[in-house]
Amino acid sequence: MARRGRDRCALAERSCVVELLAASLLEDLFVPQVSLLEKVLRSLLVFAFLVAALRLGGKRELGQINVLDLAVLLLASNALQNAMIGADDSLVGGVVGAATLFLANYAFVRVVFRSRRASRILEGTPRVLLEHGRVLERALRSEAITEDEMRSAALERGFGELTDVDLIVLEPNGHMAIMGREAAGAWRERHAETGS
């Protein structure tokens, strides 16, 4: 009889432990440790910082990533993770942070799409690096692109020498547009109309 009573107590204790563990797990997953408003603000501030940092870093960072650029991006993401999540590692907190980033990006893309001025401010404008076969040294220095990088890109597009190219433009997305005479004329006309 005493043994049966002890077994019931042990079973009840195990049941209590399981219930406590389940409750703790659910709390860890679904109860944020910081307010949702703080989570949203942290995510928006990190997003704004990254947009500004990448914009100030130049178009080259977007189109031609090298080992050092990759290391910086990986380390920056690690450093900013704590700034974004704060003391919260709950599932809900993570989902709110990620959702905020997606919504901020959606809004950013819509603003840039609808406003030419916002596009110029937030994304930048195309930068001519070579015109009529002549390298524009100042533009290369400003964008931190070497003549060898430009020559290599021209070679990939089928131009043997830079003098064979009529126009090379670094687009806001980091793409290097390399054009012969006909394509360069069309590009100039299109950008004369848009004023960029």
Predicted TM-score (pTM) of the model is 0.67
C-alpha to C-alpha distance for 61 and 174, rounded to whole angstroms: 7
The pLDDT tens digits for 56-102 are 776 655 566 667 777 887 888 888 888 887 778 788 888 888 899 99
The pLDDT tens digits for 167-196 are 999 988 888 999 998 989 999 988 887 665
Partnered with residue 23 across adjacent β-strands are none
Domain boundaries defined on the chain = 32-122, 125-194
Q: Does position 33 have pLDDT exceeding 70, yes or no?
A: yes
Q: List the 167-170 sheet strands across, edge first.
A: 134-135, 127-131, 167-170, 176-179
C-alpha to C-alpha distance for 59 and 10, rounded to whole angstroms: 67
The pLDDT tens digits for 98-155 are 899 999 999 999 998 999 898 888 888 899 999 998 999 999 998 888 999 899 999 9
Is 125-194 a CATH 3.30.240.20 domain?
A: yes
C-alpha to C-alpha distance for 177 and 85, rounded to whole angstroms: 39
Q: Does position 166 have pLDDT exceeding 90, yes or no?
A: yes
